[in-house]
Amino acid sequence: MQKSLHIVPDKCTGCLQCEAACSEHHEGVFNTARSKIKVFNFHEEGRFIPYTCTQCDEAWCQKACPTEAITLNVVTGAKEVNADKCVGCKVCTIACPFGTVNYVAATGKVSKCDLCGGAPACASACPTGAITYISADATGHDRMRDWAKKTATQA
């Protein structure tokens, strides 16, 4: 069963625990600037929205990579960057419509979410349940149900 990150922005408090956990897992330091997940802060609205790679089925980053450095992990479903093959050309960063593939100047390579090998640190660290790791088949169900409830009350 494939799993994916499920993000519910209404539950996010902007605590940045997800960013800290990600950077610690991947970089060994608590440095949110080095995280593969980011939390947008919409000041005027008083809202926070976490975002990261959605692991697209038709991954444009993967298709655009001239060295085939982005490959599918068949166990987790993540599109992972092989640093040994990455030449830092940044074509994948341009191809990603969501801006979730990032160039890391310190390494001269790109970086993106790899689902932490199937145990995403961001989901484990989220204290409010804004980020969970659930069956990929179920991620759209909650949104559809919420929409159905909303439209039912408007009728």
Token pair of 133 as six digits: 């790791």
pLDDT digits (tens, 9 = 90+) for 129-145: 999 999 877 666 566 66
- Please state the rounded mean pLDDT for residues 102-131: 96
pLDDT of residue 48: 96
Mean pLDDT of the chain: 91
Distance of CA 30 to the CA centre of its chain: 18
pLDDT of residue 137: 72
pLDDT band at 155 (very low <50, low <70, confident <90, very high): low
- Please state the rounded mean pLDDT for residues 58-69: 97
Q: May I ask the CATH class of domain 1-52+118-155? A: alpha beta
pLDDT of residue 136: 75
Helix (H) or strand (E) holding 18: helix 17-27
pLDDT digits (tens, 9 = 90+) for 11-30: 999 999 999 999 999 999 99
Residue extent(s) of CATH 3.30.70.20 domains in the chain: 1-52+118-155, 55-112
Q: What is the CATH number of domain 55-112?
A: 3.30.70.20
